[in-house]
A and B are shown apart, each in its own frame.
Chain A
Amino acid sequence: MPEKWELFIDALKDDSKKLAKAELKQLIKKTLRDRDVFIKGQGIKLKRYLNQLEAKQITRNQFKSYVQDLKAIVEIRSLKMRVGAKARTQKLAMAIGDLILDKLVDLL
C-alpha cells in the first residue's frame, strides 16, 4: 500500500510534465533502502519533509530550503570522505618513511 508521501507526489498537479514522479519515488525508496546510514538518513528526512508538506506543517519555501540543506550536507560529507582518503594515504606514506625506509631497508 502506498505511503502518505507517495500519494502526495502522485496527487501533485503537473500539467507541464516537468516532474518525473515515478523516478522521484524510486529515488526516495532506493535511498531508504541504502546500507549507508548517512544516505538512508537523508532519505528518511526527505520522506518526513514530504509528509509534513502534505500535512501543511511546513511551507513550500521551507521544503525547498530543507532540500538545499540536504544538498549542502551531502557536499560536506563528500569533502569529509576525501579528507579521510587523503589522511589514510598520508599515514601510509609516513609509516613507510619511518618504519620501512629508515629502519627495515637498513637491515636488508
Chain B
Amino acid sequence: MKFKKVDAQGKYKLLPGIFLLCVLFSLFSCAHWFGFPSYYDPTTYKNLTDLKPEVAMLYETFTSAQVDSQQVNKIRLKLAQIYEYEKGKGEDNQETTQQIKIIREMFVRHLEDRLQNGKWSSVHLENVLQNMDQAFDLTIQTERLKNKNE
C-alpha cells in the first residue's frame, strides 16, 4: 500500500485508504470477538448426507417388532465419530459441533422411546422422521453456507 503526495489535493487521496483501514479494523475486531466460521468441508457434507438416509431407514424399521441392534450401534458409532471430527476442528467450528450434538441427543431420545414404548405407529414415524430430516437438512445447509478455502 503506497501513501504518496500529501499536498493540497493529494491529502484527500488518503481518505479512502483510511476509511478502508477502519472498516478492516472493525471486521477483524468482529472476527476476534466472534470468530469467523471454519471453511466448507466436503467430508462434513458427505458424512451428513450419508448418515441422514441411514437414520431414516433405521427409523422405518421401528414400526416392526424387532429392533436391529447392529444397525442402531452402527449409527450411534457414526454419530459419535462425526461429533469428534467436528469438535476436533476447534472453536471456529463450534456451531456445527453444537448442531451434531443436538442431532445426537434427538437420536438417543427417539431410540429410548422405541426401546421403552415398543413399536411405532405410522403417524408417530412420520412425525419423528419429519423432525429428524429437518434437523439434518439445516445442518447440511449450514455447511453449504461456509466459504470455500480457495
Contact = CB atoms under 8 A, between A and B. Distances in A.
A35 interface: no
Given A58-B124, A58-B127, A69-B106, A84 B145 contact: yes
A93 interface: yes
B134 A62 contact: no
Contacts of B139: 76, 80
A89 B35 CA distance: 10
Which one of A82, A87, A94, A97 has the greatest number of beta carbons of chain B within 10 Å?
Answer: A87
B30 to A, nearest CB: 6
Contact of A83 (B127, B135, B142): B142
A90 B27 CA distance: 8
Contact of A65 (B1, B103, B109): B109
Most buried by A among B17, B103, B127, B141: B127
B127 A73 contact: no
B138 A70 contact: no
Interface string A56-79: 011101100110111011011101
Nearest to A85: B34
Interface size grouping (class) on chain B: 35 or more
A95 B1 CA distance: 16
Contact of A79 (B30, B36, B99): B99
A56 to B, nearest CB: 10
Given A69-B132, A79-B99, A106-B2, 18 more contacts: A52-B123, A57-B123, A58-B123, A62-B124, A72-B102, A76-B139, A79-B98, A82-B95, A84-B145, A87-B36, A87-B145, A87-B147, A89-B30, A90-B37, A92-B27, A97-B24, A106-B1, A108-B16
7 contacts: A52-B127, A57-B123, A80-B145, A87-B146, A92-B27, A93-B24, A97-B24
Interface of A: 45, 48-49, 52, 57-59, 61-62, 65-66, 68-70, 72-73, 75-77, 79-80, 82-84, 86-87, 89-94, 96-97, 100-101, 105-106, 108
